[in-house]
Structure 1
Amino acid sequence: MERAARVRDYLNGLPSPVDAVVVTEDITDHGLVEDYEIARGAMRDDAPTVVCPGNHGSRPEFRKVLLDHPGRDGRAGPVNQALRVDGLAILLCDSSIPGRHDGHLDDKTIDWLESKLARAAGPVFVGMHRPPIALGLPSVDAIRLNHPERLEQVLRRHDQVKAAMVGHAHTAASALFAGLALVVAPGVVSTLMMPGELVLPEEWSEDDALDFERPPAFTLHVSDGERLVSHTRVVR
């Protein structure tokens, strides 16, 4: 929590306030109510904040604590969210598969995204937790978004989509997907190092590649409605 609070305080202390805070990374390890309550306290930003579920979360607890409702039908369907800020829309898709670490955009989510994009009058940024492409990080690439072509087909049909934002990788990165900028948010709690940056044992896990000593980081996005410019900052 201390590291997340440092990022929050940095953002809240900026001379020019940000318009919105978009959280695409995991905010819990076990998906417990107590975990989400701690995360909510650490994310008390002065700007509107929107969060998408990660691979360590739980939809019912996410809804109960962060959205203050259990879901209309009492079940744990996808948590898709939209936020409008100064003429642009941020659409966050739930790519989680309950009980698994890899991701998928189910039919409900694809239909929701298609519907929102069809009605969007201005620029749109689409986000989710898992990247739709391989990033050169073996442990993350093994649990990235499945069937990314479903997402690509939707994005290519709508010119108002200007960029895609994801988390999951614990490191800042950028690439192209569906002809758009794909921006990967850095990690707050830890940084995942690339295999070429480390001397790893023959049998290694993600824990061996995680660096908890590097400072927390986040990305500041600036948009003129046509393009997205992203600046990564570390908070010491």
Structure 2
Amino acid sequence: MTTTVIAHVSDLHLDLSERATQRALTVVNHLRDMPGPIDAVLVTGDIADHATADEYAQARKLFDLPYPVLVLPGNHDRRGPFRAGLLDAAPEDGELNQVVRTPGAVFLLCDSTIPGSDEGLLGDPTLRWLDETLTAAGGELPVFVCFHHPPVDLHTPYVDRVRQFGEERLAAVLERHPQVVALLCGHAHVAAATTFAGRPLLVAPGVASTVPLPFEGRPAVDYELAPALAFHVLDDRRRLVTHYRALGQPHPER
């Protein structure tokens, strides 16, 4: 059976501190040491904490992996520095949408950020781009639609107030394109799985920290729980299985 394996990482919040660096290295070294194969590493935003050039330079060094690395911005990122630091592109401030094709899938990386706000929204230009790109892609390969902000409540008030809004517009686009097998996002700092517009909506856990559920009786943001990531495995019947992996104590830098 042929499979496509996606390592899904999110919310590193790199700020040049020892703590953030070590937690990121725990995840990166885990991926680097795996015998594989991994078809893509998807990083769904909040890569930098303050969107400085030095933070993106550190991220670029960390993401030097033997697999394709796909990146999109989160609310802590800024489009111009993100483009310049991670994509070798002009530091423009317009919406940042990308198409990445691998042998087994197509990834549509959508920009859900609103400059100056922690909330998310897929703007009209992004939704038009998404609709047109899905039409052009056809149905030969499965498609993953990816963005930073989840478009549903996850029952974590700390995050739900700054989730992606206007989600009914996204649902209307997805209804026209059955080749979309799942939606992948971050932002919530919690491993979560639900559905949206009839597809799996899979949320990567945070590398920098975890947001507990309100009934767990923990702080609003927990900085002690281990960094984690997700592995999405898609088979040739387009059945998707997700495994979440917590990684324990940070590895020493290599």
Q: Same fold (TM over 0.5)?
A: yes
Number of the residue aligned with 2:156 = 137
> In structure 2, how many angstroms separate the alpha carbons of the residues matched to 1:44 and 1:87?
22
CA deviation after TM superposition for structure 1 residue 5, in Å: 1.4
Of 242, 250, 253, the residue aligned with 1:230 is: 242
1:139-163 Cα deviation digits (max 9, x unpaired):
1110111100111111111010000
CA deviation after TM superposition for structure 1 residue 17, in Å: 2.4
Of 80, 94, 110, the residue aligned with 1:93 is: 110
1:174-219 Cα deviation digits (max 9, x unpaired):
00100000000001111111111116xxxxxxxx411111111000
Number of the residue aligned with 1:68 = 88
The RMSD of aligned alpha carbons is 1.2
Of 81, 102, 123, the residue aligned with 2:142 is: 123
TM-score (norm 2): 0.85
Is 1:146 aligned to 2:165, yes or no? yes
Bigger RCO (CA 8 Å, 6+ sep) = 2
TM-score (norm 1): 0.92
Number of the residue aligned with 1:31 = 51
1:91-131 Cα deviation digits (max 9, x unpaired):
11000010000011111111111111001131101010000
Number of the residue aligned with 1:81 = 98
Task: Write out aligned runs for 1:96-107 (5 A).
Answer: 96-107=113-124
Of 207, 226, 246, the residue aligned with 1:215 is: 226
1:25-50 Cα deviation digits (max 9, x unpaired):
41111111111112222222211011
1:29-73 Cα deviation digits (max 9, x unpaired):
1111111112222222211011110011100000000011115xx
SS of the residue 1:101 aligns to: strand
Is 1:53 aligned to 2:78, yes or no? no
| Percentage of matched positions with identical amino acids | 47
1:4 and 1:43 in contact (8 A); partners too: no
1:130 and 1:166 in contact (8 A); partners too: yes
SS of the residue 1:103 aligns to: strand
SS of the residue 1:22 aligns to: strand
> In structure 2, how many angstroms separate the alpha carbons of the residues matched to 1:175 and 1:25?
20
Number of the residue aligned with 1:109 = 126
> In structure 2, how many angstroms separate the alpha carbons of the residues matched to 1:158 and 1:128?
17
Number of the residue aligned with 1:21 = 41
How many residues get paired? 225
1:25 and 1:185 in contact (8 A); partners too: no
> In structure 2, how many angstroms separate the alpha carbons of the residues matched to 1:86 and 1:180?
22
2:45 and 2:187 in contact (8 A); partners too: yes
Bigger shift: residues 222-231 or 127-136: 222-231
Task: Write out aligned runs for 1:174-185 (5 A).
Answer: 174-185=193-204
2:188 and 2:205 in contact (8 A); partners too: yes
1:36 and 1:62 in contact (8 A); partners too: yes
> In structure 2, how many angstroms separate the alpha carbons of the residues matched to 1:25 and 1:83?
16
